[in-house]
Amino acid sequence: MNPPARTETAATDPNRLATHLIRLEHLVLYAFAFVLPLFEVPKNLLWLIYVGLWFSNRLRSRDFGGPWRGWDTLIAAWITSGYVVAAFAGIPNQEWAGANDILRYGLILWLLTRAGYSSQVLTRLLGAIVAGTAITLAWGAIGMAMGERSRLGLRSVGHVNHSAIYLAIVFGLVLSWLRASWRQISVGTRVSASLLGTAMALGLFVMESRAAVGAAFVAALVILAVYALRARHSLHKVMIGATVLVALVLALRPEVIVKNEALLKRDLFLAHRDAVWRTGLEAWRANPWFGVGMKNHGRISYEKLEAWAEKRGEKFDRSSVALSSHAHSLYVNTLAERGAYGLGVLLAVLAAWFWSLARALPGAAAPPLVWAYWGGAAYAWLIALIVGLANTTLHSEHALVSMLLLGGWLSLARRPPTLHAPPTLRRPCAPERRPDRSARAAHPPHQPAGRGGRRRGLHALVHARAGAGRRARHPVRASVQPLLGRPGG
């Protein structure tokens, strides 16, 4: 009996090791999401460890998430675009290091969409994102109150405008989850989540980023309006709430409002961004296809601008431009650093991102986890587009948190219907009661049994099979619809 026991132990050890490695992969992912706004070195190390664990676990199981899909092609094109641009950069300097930024957040998106994580793992991932942001925000507020810093920010995110972008995305995540789960959670959880969302909203105002505050307000209206429409509720509560909030802000006059009024009085509404944009556009005109290279916007000098203008036979006006490390615009910065090629790839990603959200709007009966990821991904998309008009979005930390949310949403949207449909309670079936002959005589059936009844049943069967064929031709729609619930559920 001893040899078989040793054989069984040897056979179960690899399975036990694989289970521990999968759990370790989950823990590293949670830790990465938690420290993302907190510490610089740990998040980089955790990213490397997570990627290594992901690939080693998939190689061991020989399961990389199913067949190749359209999103895989798009993500691959997005990642490689940075290195293609680096090979043809107009100003060689840091273009290869800059291309690694797309690799970091693009790979996170790709791995999450193919990981097949359970709802429990995805829920804990959201908790890690929110907890890390809340602790970092509290740390920054304490440092500001003690006089250690003059501006509120997230420690590892950097500049106050970038911190505001990150905070706005996580605020949208909290808002989406709270709205979808309001009737399912306890009063204490409602109060705690509401206080956390309020603290994040106040943090946005204290950071004084006008673009982030405005975009967060617009995105919140969109998310709440979509939920109301999917639940077939009127929009008057959303509109009343928005009106009250605007009136309250105008009455309290926070610093961001005072800052905007001061800039308007000095005719500096754009805060010299128009001059920075002209610099980026001049660099793009000189390098139209592949730009100057990622992270090379700061290498643009007055001498280069003048040389480019002279080459075109134009007169250069130094007072019309301003130098900066980046273009303070997602679109101008992408044009300047990655050219028309890089901008085209970025616009394709943004279009696919929008389509993944628009084609699969959750119903009111969808689980809160689905609404949290859909709302978080939609909020991140809106923040990238709107704030991207005046700030450089979709890079570094706020790109990473955006890809965590988008990857989670795409992963949920690909699940089989039975894994996503909300649980339903079935009533016990009552025993079938056959009517007596007198009742049948008083109420004859509409269609007598026989050939006509059989024909009608065959007709229904043909239509059912046709519907199944249509669902098979549209696997994404068929798998997502039960997850999303009925439009007015």
DSSP H or E run through 425: none
| 198-201 long-range contacts, CB within 8 A, separation 24+ | 199/134, 199/137, 200/133, 200/134, 200/137, 200/167, 200/170, 200/171, 200/174, 201/171
Q: Which of 354, 389, 290 is nearest to 85 (CA)?
A: 290
pTM for the structure as a whole: 0.83
- Tell me the one-letter amino acid at 66: G
The region, left, alpha or beta by phi > 0 then psi within -120 to 50, assigned to residue 225 is alpha
pLDDT tens column, 176-224: 999 999 989 999 999 999 999 999 999 999 998 999 999 999 999 999 9
Task: Give the Cα separation of 312 and 238 in Å (integer).
Answer: 53
Residues of the chain with pLDDT under 70: 1-12, 416-489
| Residue 416 confidence (pLDDT) | 56
CB 387 within 8 Å of CB 165 = yes
Q: What are the two backbone dihedrals, phi and then psi, of residue 233, each rounded to the nearest 5 degrees?
A: -105, 160
C-beta separation of 337 from 297 below 8 A: yes
Using CB atoms within 10 Å of the CB of residue 390, give its burial: 0 to 12 exposed, 13 to 18 middle, 19+ buried: buried
pLDDT of residue 135: 96
pLDDT number for residue 467: 47
Using the CB atoms, write b or e for 92-130: b if 16+ within 10 Å: eebbbebbebbebbbbbbbbbbbbebeeebbbbbbebbb
At 154 the pLDDT is 92
* CA separation for the pair 466, 460 (Å, rounded): 10
Give residue 132's identity as a one-letter amino acid code: G
CA dist., res. 110 & res. 120, Å (int): 20
C-alpha to C-alpha distances, 118 to 7, 124, 176, 419, 422, nearest whole angstrom: 32, 10, 20, 9, 15
Q: What share of the chain is helix, strand, coil (3-state, %, to 5)?
A: 70, 0, 30
Q: Is the dihedral of CA 365, 367, 373, 375 positive or negative?
A: positive
Cα(105)–Cα(47) distance, rounded to whole angstroms?
10
pLDDT at 474: 40
Cβ 280 vs Cβ 333: under 8 Å: yes
